[in-house]
Amino acid sequence: MVTQQSDNLPQDDPLEKTKYLISALNYVSRDLTLPSHLYASVSSIYHPPPDNRLTPYGGDLMSEFDDALSKQRPNCESASRLTEFKEIRAKTRIQHRLSQLEGLPSTRGEELQDKCLLELYGLKLRELQCKVREEVSAEYSLRLNCAHPGSQLFDWGMMRLPHPIYGVGDPFAVEADDQFRKKREAERLSRLEEEEKNLIETTQRKFFAEVLNAVREFQLQIQVSQRRHKQRNDGVQAWHGRQRQRATRAERLRIMALKSDDQEAYMKLAKESKDEKLTIFLEETNKIFVSLGAAVQRQKNAKLSEGIELLEGSESAFSEVDAPWNERSPDIEIIESDNNDDSNDLLEGERKYNLAIHSIQEKVTKQPSLLQGGELRSYQLEGLQWMVSLFNNDYNGILADEMGLGKTIQTIALIAYLLENKDVSGPHLILAPKAVLPNWENEFATWAPSIAAFLYDGPKEKRNEIRARIAGGTFNVLMTHYDLIMRDKAFLKKIDWNYMIVDEGHRLKNHECALARTLVTGYRIKRRLLLTGTPIQNSLQELWALLNFLLPHIFNSIQNFEEWFNSPFAERGTASLSDEEELLIINRLHHVIRPFLLRRKKNEVEKFLPGKTQVILKCDMSAWQKLYYKQVTDVGRVGLHTGNGKSKSLQNLSMQLRKCCNHPYLFVGGDYNMWKKPEIVRASGKFELLDRLLPKLKRAGHRILLFSQMTRLIDLLEIYLSLNDYKYLRLDGTTKTDQRGILLKQFNEPDSPYFMFLLSTRAGGLGLNLQTADTVIIFDSDWNPQMDQQAEDRAHRIGQKKEVRVFVLVSIGSIEEVILERAKQKMGIDAKVIQAGLFNTTSTAQDRREMLEEIMSKGTSTLGTDVPSEREINRLAARTEDEFWMFEQMDEERRQKENYKTRLMEENEVPEWAYSSQSQEDESKSSKDHFGSVTGKRKRKEVTYSDSLSELQWMKAMEGEEDVSKVSQKRRRKDTTNTKTPMSNGLKLSNKTCQAL
């Protein structure tokens, strides 16, 4: 190592030493650290080896200086740093001098003051002076170094020095400068290539731009042409748009005139519209009114010589009475001749129709003095006046006020008015459902005690006593029910009745039923009056049946009735009607039936009657219910508590599914112990909901009417109420007539202890006054929404002082949601009167079959989804905010007291016998038998509400003193059992099952 180092050290050759010194100087001038070998070489010049005793140039003084430099080397500053320090010191001195000059006082001499100011301004302009000097020096250097300044002024490469300033002889700098020169040359070549490329691209872009400009000019020409076409088309469309707006505005005005019943304004607007289709339609409807006016006049003349009308027996017998021309009244002749002379007057037919009906008018300003039970309301007086007008003009009618507006009182007022002012003492016949007869008897005793009104009901011995009392004709009114009017026809038909009043007149909605046939063939009556809160339940045909019963010479044929309103659209095929056309048809129908039908609603006449709110409470199903529901939808069988592990095949699948939704106990036999308080609640989702709801309603002071269609379910409700010590009353079809009035009186007493009234929807939903209750619970909805509506109005009627809340219990995802949806659709018929009834008739058997098949295929997939929480149910059930928080507190108390985990029965708690199933062969056979029993291809009419009994069977039932309704039910069950046909491909359902829907 020492030898190698001695080899690298400079020798006595001066040239070699100079080379090392120059290299070291280059490093120092660039402020770089000397390499170790260079530092050693330079040091060896001044520090010879130890064995060399010669003293170099400079002697010991130079050696000491070099040692001092070596010791202070870490603290030495570079040349650039020293220059920076020098500049800083200069700037500091200048700033100090500036501060001194600025701080000098102004009291100095003028000459000194000028010198100081010149120095001050000079120092402040120092930076500007430096900049100017740099620019002048740069310009001078540029001109000095450029041989040809004009051509090389912008060649910035000439500005660069050929050698670095730190040394000409530095080989490293020369090498770096060559690299930079090569780089600059490459950049220059690159710039030339780029310029050439840019030139080519510029030429191409110019060419393409010219092409694009030509294309653009061509497109502009096309756009100008299209713009001209568009302006022309827009002008045409705008003209048509304005025409449509005028037509729409005119149609809107016509619709407003129709809604406000301004016929003259509507006809004026119709003529102004010059709509040929509308004009033809109005001419057709005007012809209808002309023919109706003639039919009305013939109805007036259709009297027997004795003055008593005998109704004939069939639809064909109700054909119009065509009197000879010379025997017709002058009014009819005027109607027809005027129509020929003035065919342009589209209101002429309607005027003559109304004139033929309202020829005699009488104003009723006060109620009869025979009414002693209270004061009639204003709308009830109007109803009395309307019925008196019908009497004066020899017409029959329908009093169709909404349920709860006092149709019974208005009828009693009519009888009293006729007795007091018209000297018509009767006899009058009142037909009503058996459940309503006690109410009629009480109302007569309350409002008109002086009128001799007899209730014709009871066993044969009691009826014989009543016959003896009325045999002399010393009575005014006889009240009976539908069964006795057919059973005792032999006696009752001997009496010439002045008025026949049918309560719940929609019972006659089927003109082929036994009751309608009996009334029209066997009784002699002068006038008829129907009372019903639901004149239209399912279709327009039902309305026609009622009008046909009242006015057979006017509404003589259902085909004619439909043709009256279909003929204007006979050429349109299946095209849908516009809103105006539908509204015009509805308006025309209203004008046709308005003279014979009076209907008012509670919100129109009873402004201060408390409101009624319907709430849909959806609940989950227990595991037992879901199991039975799945068994019914899959195989049509359920496991039963029979002890032998067998299951039972079921009929009428829709009813079985509804039973699954209500309670699984409806399938078990009588030997099963149902008196289990936790189980009877947890086995049914509806019972579980009632178990939470009833305590809250009782604590809040509400009284409840609970309606159900199944008497067995009412039995289960009785068990539940007894287990929970709720006091209740019950009324269904088996309750005797004399007991019904007693039950109503007990419940309506001021201090009645009864919290709940259990009623069947069919028997308890008609004609009962139970306005002391303010809560109605519909446990299971009816396919016919009017039945539920009637049940709700048992509480929401005149005399109610509280808000009525109606709770409809529905199992989520089950057939009950389908029933609810169908009920909403049927309610639309009553809203529009004609749309759903005439142009969208009742669902066919195929529609009902498809609906049930859809329910069966869906199975249990949607059961129990989206169940409302307890807080949501409390919010729906509470009438006030205080009730809501009280319900919340009761729920919290109940949750603390519950000793079982879940409110509903789980799968592991379902009895094992409920899972019982047969072998595959038996199951297949039972499934075939089951579906075969509900799969029939029996042909039937589109709409037939049969009583299931022939005339001979009716006569046998009446002679044997049997209940006709029970005999009819037995006959239906027998027909259902005997109706079995082979199973067809796929799931098919019989018309009988679909008719139940």
Inter-residue contact 502 to 529 (CB < 8 Å)? yes
Inter-residue contact 705 to 759 (CB < 8 Å)? yes
Say yes or no: domain 378-605 is CATH 3.40.50.10810: yes
pLDDT band at 971 (very low <50, low <70, confident <90, very high): low
pLDDT band at 639 (very low <50, low <70, confident <90, very high): low
Average pLDDT of the chain to the nearest whole number: 71
Tell me the HSE value of 878 on the side-chain side, using a 13 A CA sphere.
17
pLDDT at 949 over 60: no
Show the tokens assigned to 945: 């509400």
Residue 705 φ/ψ, nearest 5 degrees: -110, 120
Could you please state the CATH topology (level 3) that the domain comprising 675-893 is classified under: Rossmann fold (3.40.50)
840 DSSP 8-state letter: S
156 vs 501, residue with greater confidence: 501
Distance of CA 587 to the CA centre of its chain: 29
pLDDT at 687 over 70: yes
**pLDDT of 3:** 42
**pLDDT of 743:** 84
Average pLDDT over residues 756-782: 79
**pLDDT of 710:** 85
- Distance CA(906)–CA(616), nearest Å, equals 25
Q: Which residues contact 43 (CB under 8 A, 6 or more apart)?
A: 66
- Distance CA(693)–CA(703), nearest Å, equals 12
pLDDT at 631 over 60: yes
- Distances in Å between the Cα of 454 and the Cα atoms of 429, 475, 497 are 10, 8, 14
- Distance CA(772)–CA(112), nearest Å, equals 120
Domain with CATH 3.40.50.300 in the chain: 675-893
pLDDT band at 655 (very low <50, low <70, confident <90, very high): confident
pLDDT at 644 over 70: no
pTM of the model: 0.53
Domain with CATH 3.40.50.10810 in the chain: 378-605
Report pLDDT digits (tens) over 511-536: 677 777 777 777 888 888 888 877 66
**Residue matched to tokens 């000491």:** 64
Inter-residue contact 526 to 317 (CB < 8 Å)? no
**pLDDT of 71:** 60
CA diameter of the chain: 179
Which secondary-structure segment (H or E) carries 479?
Answer: strand 477-480
pLDDT at 667 over 60: yes
Quick one: the chain helix, strand, coil %, rounded to 5?
Answer: 60, 5, 35
Average pLDDT over residues 430-458: 84
pLDDT at 890 over 70: yes
